[in-house]
Structure formats: structure tokens, C-alpha cells
Amino acid sequence: MRKLPESPNKKDTVKLRHPDFPTQFKEMRTMYRFETFDELWATFKREHLDLWTLYKNEKRPYLTPHTFRENAPFQMKKAHDIGCCCIFCEGFNELRRGANGVIAKIDAILDRMKAARMSDANAALVSLLDKVKHIIALPSKYDTIVACLHPCLASDAKLESAQFSCINGSECHACGFRQLWSSQIRKKLLTDDDEMRNNFILAGTE
């Protein structure tokens, strides 16, 4: 159970109220369960064989016993969708609705820049745009979040392996989409008043 991912959102909590005194409660950060209880029970067998043997049902040893379910952490909830384990993650769907349009615009900019003679600085911009396009084009929210945490998190790693500093606000200065957009392209493309720099190579009809 300790390996289950914990929500990075401090407000994403579960309260356990006292049965006789409901004003008294215990509050813990939400843990998300992506596996079924039977899958967790199989993992429990591999890691704690002696306890598994003690509590298993002799007739149905591979089905989760009632004791295992009842003693699961109260803050554990079933995850209904893959995402960043944040209660506000659903707002990410609105961003993804415009993904196809953004990708088309980026492709047009890349074609225009590749057709021109590029300096080393412009080649670096093309590389940044390619990374932004790759992240936006990923098929799921989960894959997008993992890609944003590169290079601190490997592309084939799990989100729960991410460091706390990487998912807690802007503490990490190595990963995050802001390193590509806010700290790089946006500063070069827009002024402090959010006006387009028309003399910048990325500026165009797109």
C-alpha cells in the first residue's frame, strides 16, 4: 500500500470522522489505487509471503480476503482516470481540446523555419518547438505530465517516481513545461505587455 501514488495537491484530502463524535476527524492526503484489490493482493504475496499465507482463504487463495480490504488505508481511493493525480486535473481536458489546432500551427511555423537558412540559434528554437509539439501531441494526460517532467523523470518511468520538488509548484528549474514555454519561447515571442515581437523569427501569419 505504501507504493501507491499520493496526490501532489495539498487540498486533495480524505477525512475520516469519529463514529460517535463526528466533529472529530482525521485528515490525510489522498492515495490513488490504479490496480484492483486482487492485483494488490498478488503484490502482497510476493512481498510478504508469511502474512499472505496466514490471511489467505484456503479455498480461494488468489481472491482478496475481507481482512485485507477492511484494513486498507482510509485515504485510499480508486483512480477513475489516468492523470496527474490532482483533483483539478479534469480542467486539463479543456486544454487538450485545442491540441490539434496548436499542432497544425506549430507544423506551419516549423516548415517556414526549415525552409529558411537557419543559424545555430534558430536551430535551437526548432528543437524547442519540436519538444513542445511532442508533448502536446501525446495521447493521454498521464503521458503528457510524464513528458513535461523530463529530464528529471525518464520517459518510460511512472509518475509516482517523480521527485516532490518537480511536482510542487516551481521549485525545480530543470523540468516542467514552463522551461520550454514560459522561460524560453514566450519570453522571445512576447513582450512584457504580452504583445507580439514582430521582428522575431517565430512571428508570422500563423
User: Is 92's pLDDT higher than 50?
Assistant: yes
For cell 489505487, what's the residue? 33
Whole-Å CA distances, 107 to 51, 102, 126: 57, 9, 10
23 contact partners, CB below 8 Å, separation of at least 6: 17
- CA 32-34-38 angle, 5° bins: 115
Number of neighbouring beta carbons within 10 Å of residue 191:
9
pTM of the predicted model, to two decimals? 0.43
97 contact partners, CB below 8 Å, separation of at least 6: none
For the segment 96-110, the average pLDDT, to the nearest whole number, is 74
DSSP single-letter state for residue 12: -
pLDDT given for residue 172 in this prediction: 78
For the segment 166-185, the average pLDDT, to the nearest whole number, is 71
Which of 21-35, 126-140, 175-189 comes out lowest in average pLDDT?
Answer: 175-189
> Alpha-carbon Rg of the chain, whole angstroms?
23
What does the mean pLDDT of the chain come to? 76
User: Which is more confident, 130 or 24?
Assistant: 24
Beta-bridged to residue 77, according to DSSP, are 32
User: Which is more confident, 10 or 171?
Assistant: 10
User: Which is more confident, 44 or 159?
Assistant: 44
> In angstroms, rounded to a whole number, what is the distance separating the alpha carbons of residues 188 and 201?
9
User: Where are the chain's structural domains?
Assistant: 13-78, 95-189
pLDDT given for residue 196 in this prediction: 67
List the grid coordinates of 126. 526548432
pLDDT given for residue 1 in this prediction: 46
